[in-house]
Amino acid sequence: MILILSPGTRTDSAEYRQLSNHLATLQGVQVRVHSEHGIEQTLTELYLIGNTKSLDPTDMQALPCVERVVRVSQEYRVLGRHKDDSRPAYFDYNGVRFGQDTLHVFAGLCAVDNAEHVEIMLRALRDNGQVCTRMGAYKPRTSPYAFQGHGKACLPYVFELAGKYGIKVIAMEITHESHLDEINAALHQTGHPTGVMLQIGTRNTQNFELLKIVGRQTEMPILLKRGFGITLDESLNAAEYLASEGNRNVVFGLRGMKTNMGDPHRNLVDFAHVPVVKRLTRMPVCVDPSHSVGSRAASPDGILDVMHVTAQGVLAGANMVLVDFHPAPTRALVDGPQALLLKELPHFLEDVQIAREAYLRRVALAKKYPE
């Protein structure tokens, strides 16, 4: 059960003390406090865990400071959508809103190779009106002999260049808790010219200790990729690990499933699950067409498979597109064969726009013909 307190409730007030004294008398019920500090006010939610079946929502609603009561199912307590749950399905970060009704493209380098390529990429994004990108500094690789990413060495120039070109949010994978400190140090050193959305890759979806540590920091939002060989429920529970530790600014990323039934694509594209994740949870949903398809193959209609599946995801209501581009894919150190060319960026963005407009028209149509 969640008790949503009146906005601005102070935890040092007499009413709050009365409320917590009462909750302390409930047998077998533990209370977990979650506070969200906004610019104007603080929102506090109390999670009652344990023996809450016998609690009457009407009684709880009458307690001091309580504005609303939400009874949660066992699943995805923090991030899930529950009955009569009108908690928001969005968050703001560094001036950008991420929600179940917004859309942002994160085009960029799978792996940072040098400052020149980063700059060419970011300039192209700025010229095309983009404020988000992807930049890999820490790369999880199948072979220990493959390029592992430049790590912390590239962070200062990536952040400075992002600031120079007006990029507000960089999606960047981390594979170890020490990367958090390295990113924070580089942001601090460069004067916070941009923001970072921490990415947990598909190989780490169930790295629970990493999830707990990343979930404990609340400065940066998190993009959690679906695990490529586990169920959707298992991946959604992984997202819940982040939220249960305190960070609920989580975007859920679909990136295809590992099975040869998707051949000749690198992974079986799973973007039909966009509406499913939006129904089960309040997380914005990202699609990654590059790691799903894994090549620049095109169909006879002249459209690249990467663009086809992007459109499919956006048409299904995706809120974020993570996509590999590279100024010189043959020289890319990671995933060159699936990268789009910079000259394809305007085409890609226009194609996304067509799919987005079609999605919005479909939403309006569904409203015209309600169930």
Write out the residues near ligand PEP by the rule CB under 6 A. Answer: 110, 136, 173, 201-202, 225, 255, 288, 291
CA–CA dist 208, 152 (Å, integer):
23
Show the DSSP H helices in the chain as ranges.
14-24, 57-61, 115-127, 155-164, 178-189, 208-216, 232-244, 274-280, 289-293, 305-315, 345-368
The answer to the question of residue 113 lying near Mn ion (CB under 5 A) is no
Nearer to ligand PEP, 110 or 251 (CB): 110
- State the binding partner of 326 from ligand PEP, Mn ion, none, CB within 5 to 8 A by kind: none
Nearer to Mn ion, 46 or 110 (CB): 110
What DSSP letter does each residue of 120-133 carry, written as one string?
HHHHHHHHTT--EE
Shortest separation between residue 139's beta carbon and ligand PEP, angstroms: 7
Residue numbers 301-360 binding Mn ion by CB under 5 A: 335
Name which of 5, 131, 114, 121 is nearest 64 in CA terms: 5
- State the binding partner of 170 from ligand PEP, Mn ion, none, CB within 5 to 8 A by kind: none
Shortest separation between residue 243's beta carbon and ligand PEP, angstroms: 20
Nearer to ligand PEP, 117 or 255 (CB): 255
- State the binding partner of 202 from Mn ion, ligand PEP, none, CB within 5 to 8 A by kind: ligand PEP
CA–CA dist 370, 364 (Å, integer):
10
Amino acid at 108: G
- State the binding partner of 270 from Mn ion, ligand PEP, none, CB within 5 to 8 A by kind: none
Q: Considering just the CA atoms, what is the radius of gyration of the chain in Å?
A: 22
- Relative orientation angle of helices 115-127 and 155-164, to the nearest 10 degrees: 20
Nearer to ligand PEP, 45 or 288 (CB): 288
Shortest separation between residue 136's beta carbon and ligand PEP, angstroms: 5
Nearer to Mn ion, 80 or 313 (CB): 313
325 in Cβ contact with 339 (< 8 Å): yes
Interface residues with Mn ion (CB under 5 A)?
110, 335
